[in-house]
Amino acid sequence: MAFCSSCGGHLESNERFCAKCGADQTAQTAGAPAVPAAAPQAAIPPPPVQPFAGMPPQYPPLPPVQPFAGMPPQFPSPVIMGAPPGAPAAGKNPLMWLVAAGVVFGLWYIGTHDKDSQTPGTTPAPQTQPGPGGGGGGGGGGGGNQNQAIIAAQKFTEGGYSAANGQIQVTQGQWLNGSNIAVAAVKLGCEQFDANGQNLTQDQVTLTGPAPPGATVTLPTFSIGAAAQGVAKVKCAITDVETEN
């Protein structure tokens, strides 16, 4: 197979001129086949480097960390008015302790001695076996023997008040003779009040003894009178005494 000495194209054995470039083939050296010349390659510049698609974008550096907004402001230590700097706080006034102790004692005394706020209708506590003496209205004046000091030494307590069959009943009543004189009988004055503290009735019952000096007489359940309409509170106290002759 022959080649064109000019362009290297294929030639037929009997062709003088190249069909591709038209070069005369008679000038070709005998026996040396035409070698096609290599076409010069144009320099191709490399493509620009593209950033990696998976890389994160570049951000500017973060600002400096600021203090947490929810933190309370820092205040200087409190200064005690009237005290020099660095001086320790003054101790509590002893008078305040005395006043507080007095208040606590007063509340304790009221809570343990004031039983007049019980209202009728509550379930009476179990009744103790009554001792000597009786309940319910009897005679016994004693006006000439009245002695304020003896009256002040008497004390009446009750387990409770209740309304039964239209009557105000007193349960677990106790009469304490705190004087040094034997007492034969005492008069018990009772008042009934409504829910607003309005006095409704005043009743009087005689409690018979005898009650020796310093003795306590336990009374059976007794009535102080008819229950007033709207009664909410009952209060009883010893108002007179009759000493033994």
What does the angle CA 168 – CA 174 – CA 175 come to, to the nearest 5 degrees? 110
Mean pLDDT lowest for which of 18-32, 91-105, 112-126? Answer: 112-126
Give the tens place of pLDDT for each residue, 57-111: 667 777 776 665 665 556 566 555 554 555 455 455 677 778 888 888 877 777 6
| Mean pLDDT over the full length of the chain | 73
| Domain 148-243 CATH assignment equals 2.40.50 | no
What's this model's pTM, rounded to 2 decimal places?
A: 0.40
pLDDT tops 80 at residue 224: yes
What is the C-alpha separation between 233 and 6, in angstroms, rounded?
A: 142
> What is the rounded distance in angstroms from the CA atom of residue 223 to the CA atom of residue 167?
6
pLDDT at 131: 34
pLDDT in tens, 124-150: 433 333 333 333 333 344 444 457 899
Which pLDDT score, from 0 to 100, does residue 12 have?
73
HSE (side-chain half, CA atoms, 13 Å) at 66: 5
Length of the chain: 245
Token output for 7: 């362009």
CA angle 171, 172, 174 (to 5 degrees): 125
State the CB neighbour count (10 A cutoff) for residue 228. Answer: 19
Residue the block writes with tokens 């019952």: 205
CB atoms under 10 Å from CB of 206, counted, come to: 19
pLDDT confidence of residue 103: 82
Q: Which pLDDT does position 225 carry in this prediction?
A: 92
How far is Cα 56 from Cα 74, in angstroms, rounded to an integer? Answer: 41
pLDDT band at 119 (very low <50, low <70, confident <90, very high): very low
Each residue of 173-202: b (16+ CB within 10 Å) or e? Answer: bebbbebebebbbbbbbbbbbeeeeeebbe
For the record, the structure tokens of 83 come out as 């005290």
More confident residue, 179 or 39: 179
Give the number of other CB atoms < 10 A from CB of residue 145: 16
Strand ranges in the chain using DSSP code E only, listed in sequence order = 2-3, 10-11, 154-157, 160-164, 167-171, 174-177, 183-193, 199-211, 216-218, 222-226, 233-243
